[in-house]
């Protein structure tokens, strides 16, 4: 398979309480591989991170992992990836992941996933990139985040255009459709 489109996946280093989160991570990894795309992610082998990577590998997909040295043991750095990079800091990790991706997908996760998400959204708002940012809304997980972003706009802390930088999709099928469209636009 030729790698011609890279998907950066931000997600939890835990599985969460709903089995649907793990199922979505595995299905996404398999779908990325089936498309011949490359997975870019945080290089951990635990939680949703590990699930998406193992599924991509099982499908023959390319995997590009980036982990800071201080999280290597905690997130069980996955060394058997196609590309494996160890950085000094979290900032370097986020930069390398972002710079090596054509689109961003956010699965359920915690503070780290939210940090990565908001940085990508802020950079889009500032005109620093136009990469698609997609929230996979497994089990309606992102409804509170979407409500918060609407609240930020309603209270005058951001223009309504902030909401245009993020697309929330209900399931893997809709996500893949959006990613295929983004892939077509980027190669046009």
Please report, for the domain that includes residue 169, its CATH number: 3.40.50.450
- List pLDDT tens digits, range 148-174: 999 999 999 999 999 999 999 999 999
What pLDDT is recorded for position 3?
52
What total number of domains does the chain contain? 1
DSSP 60: T
Closest to 103 (Cα-Cα) out of 177, 48, 18? 177
- List pLDDT tens digits, range 26-37: 999 999 999 999
Q: Are 60 and 36 in contact (CB under 8 A)?
A: no
Which stretches in the chain have pLDDT values below 50? 1-2
Question: Residue 183 domain-assigned?
Answer: no
Terminal CA-to-CA distance of the chain, rounded, Å? 20
What pLDDT is recorded for position 186?
80
Q: Is the pTM of this model over 0.75?
A: yes
The domain in which residue 156 lies consists of 6-178
Closest to 43 (Cα-Cα) out of 5, 4, 100, 2? 100
Closest to 55 (Cα-Cα) out of 83, 10, 23, 79? 23
Question: Residue 184 domain-assigned?
Answer: no
Q: Are 178 and 37 in contact (CB under 8 A)?
A: no
């Amino acid at each position: 398979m030729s790698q011609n489109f890279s998907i950066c996946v931000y997600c939890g280093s835990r599985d969460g309480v709903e089995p649907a989160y793990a199922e979505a991570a595995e299905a996404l990894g398999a779908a990325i591989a089936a498309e011949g795309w490359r997975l870019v992610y945080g290089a951990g082998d635990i939680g949703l991170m590990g699930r998406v990577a193992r599924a991509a590998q099982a499908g023959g997909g390319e995997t590009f992992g980036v982990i800071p040295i201080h999280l290597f043991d905690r997130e069980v750095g996955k060394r058997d990836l196609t590309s494996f990079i160890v950085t000094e800091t979290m900032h370097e990790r986020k930069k390398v992941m972002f710079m090596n991706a054509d689109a961003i997908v956010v699965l359920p996760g915690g503070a780290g996933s939210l940090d990565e998400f908001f940085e990508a959204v802020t950079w889009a708002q500032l005109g620093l990139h136009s990469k698609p940012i997609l929230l996979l809304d497994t089990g309606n997980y992102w409804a509170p985040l979407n409500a918060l972003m609407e609240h930020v706009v309603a209270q005058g802390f951001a223009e309504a255009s902030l909401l245009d930088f993020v697309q929330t999709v209900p399931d893997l099928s809709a996500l893949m459709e959006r990613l295929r469209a983004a892939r077509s636009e980027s190669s046009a």
